[in-house]
Structure 1
Amino acid sequence: MKIGILSDTHDHVPHITRAMSLFRKEDIRHLLHAGDFCSPFTIPLFKGYEMDAVFGNNDGDHFRLIGKFRENGLSIHNEFFQTERDGCRIALYHGTRPEITDALGRCGTYDLVISGHTHTVVNERIGSTLMLNPGSAHGFDSQATVAVFDTETREAVIHSL
């Protein structure tokens, strides 16, 4: 199974639209978002996918974000979420505290640890755990990026938008 992974969209509608197009072409049905949506108005752009997300440090209005998630059949899980897909144990955390991200990678509990926050791509292993930061889907002053993770190969590919 392939999973679309993104973070730090920061209300950038054109890049979110490009990411959704990429994920459709890759036949991806499940998304993991590591937070920093910012405003609730972008949430309907993710409709039609199964999506689990966590809040980032720039997600101010949790109440309205939660409402938009529910309206669109999507799930948001406070600051941390863990799941298992095809036997792959996954942790999702925005990454606001680097020592927590590091501890998640070093604890040996997860096959994949996803974080965001820094807007910098990370795709490296700590032991058997893949540490993945898809970079920023917003892009800011650099390239906008997202990732596709394959639960079979346990590898991620970074895509520029």
Structure 2
Amino acid sequence: MKIGILSDSHFKSDYTKEVIDLLKEKGCQYLIHAGDLCIEKNLELLVESKLPYVSVFGNNDMNLVAVSNKYVIKQEPYYFKIKDITFKLMHMPYHLSPDSNIVIFGHTHIFECEYKNNTLFINPGEVCAREKPHIECALLEINENEYIISHYFKDINKNNYEKEEYKYER
């Protein structure tokens, strides 16, 4: 199973589309957005991907409450399952307890992945290239005995994404 993870799109719908296209090209079957979509266009892009998706409100998403009934956007922390894997999704890293298999968060604009106490913690970094001149996302591959996290990042002035890969035994 492959899951595309993104966060902190802010007002960069062009970057959001680029990242979704990259994740789809890499074979993702689901999309998870960890908040700060900021504009409805970013939610529309999730829908237009034709993939199952979920997102949460970030601290800059209060204007999206008015359109939330049209999209899959939840209050944080949001718990859900894909197949037999439990997830906790949030924007703000306030609920980083190991109470699900995978904890996904955003807000810091910094890529992180760590496996501790039988829980995988992932922050995909920032789509918006606000804190640094990089567009970022992550692809989580869940296999029977391992997690493989691919961190994709690209300088905004270049054409190709670079990749770092992390593996953890489940």
TM-score category, normalised to shorter length: 0.7 to 0.9
1:118 maps to what in 2?
108
Q: Whole-Å Cα distance in 2 between the matches of residues 156 and 147 of structure 1?
A: 7
Structure having the larger proportion of residues in strand: 2
CA RMSD of aligned residues (A): 1.6
Q: TM-score, normalised by structure 1?
A: 0.84
1:63/1:160 CA distance change after superposition, 3 Å: same
1:159 aligns with 2:156: no
Once residues 52 and 78 of structure 2 are traced to their aligned partners in structure 1, the CA distance between those partners, rounded to angstroms, is 15
Larger helix fraction of residues? 1
Say if 1:39 and 1:65, in contact at 8 Å, map to a contact too: no
* Gapped regions of structure 2 (runs ≥ 5): 155-170
Secondary structure of the equivalent of 2:129?
coil
CA contact (8 A) 2:7 2:126 kept: yes
2:125 to 129, 135, 139: 135
Report the number of matched residues.
Answer: 149
SS at match of 1:38: coil
- The answer to whether the 8 A contact 1:88-1:151 is kept is no
Give the TM-score normalised by structure 2.
0.80
1:120 CA drift (Å): 0.6
Question: What letter corresponds to residue 55 of structure 1 in structure 2?
Answer: F
Aligned to 2:141: 150
Where does the alignment leave 5 or more consecutive residues of structure 1 unmatched? none
Runs of 4+ that moved beyond 6 A:
none
